[in-house]
Amino acid sequence: MAIVLFNVTDIHCHILPGADDGSKDWATSLEMCGIAAADGIRHIVATPHANYRYPYDRQQHSESLAQLQQRVPDMEFSLGCDFYLSEDNISDAIRHPERYSIGNTPYILVEFGDLQTPYQMTESLFRLHSAGFLTIVSHPERNPVMDGHPDLPREMFDMGAALQITAGSLLGQWGRKPKKTCETLLKQGLVSLIASDAHESKRRKPLLSDARRAAAKILGAYAAADLLVRDNPCAVVCSRALA
């Protein structure tokens, strides 16, 4: 039987009911928590979308998260968002950083659109960094712009952004190309975090242990993989520097 690593933190999870295209109701959210706990996840960062389709209401999401904490007292939760890098969002985040960051930390989980240019991407990160944010780029392996510019992840990493790949991508659940990209980024030492990006309890589940094993095989050591699913994610929610 495979060994499950406990005290794992998932920094990207659409677990709040009815907030976006993630969990549709409380039953689903509670089932997701049970799946996560059985897989060794102890802390979940709820990351509702903040984009044109799903306006981000921090107060409303905070209230929903408090209800979730009441219903699942044995798990820890933080609130962040899946921050879409649009001009309106960036301007508002610079004025109100506490509205979008993960908990009370300077970390912010960001996602790019499929039609942005490499210059727009790096310029957006630069603006957030200049405002004091520590950016975490979500699922670079699934972004078509980065797929067409293979040096872009390295450029982002070198300018101070952390890269977060999706567990399911590494396991091939998003197809061969994202899986290959995850493997390449891991081998290049560019991945700082692995997260579930879970949206429900059937297909896109909050699971990290299989991805941890896959990463360990690529990196040659479980300690290196544990850094990506336990140590660095814990550093994010605790407002510490990543390793």
Domain count, the chain: 1
Contact by Cβ (8 Å): 79, 237 = no
Q: Is residue 242 part of a domain?
A: no
- pTM for the model: 0.96
Q: Is residue 105 part of a domain?
A: yes
Q: What is the 3-state secondary structure (H, E, C) of 166-181?
A: EHHHHCCCCCHHHHHH
Range of the domain at 188: 8-237
Predicted pLDDT of residue 2: 60
Contact by Cβ (8 Å): 234, 43 = yes
Q: Is residue 49 part of a domain?
A: yes
CATH number for 132: 3.20.20.140
Mean pLDDT taken over the chain: 96
Percent of the chain with pLDDT over 90: 94
pLDDT at 237 over 90: yes
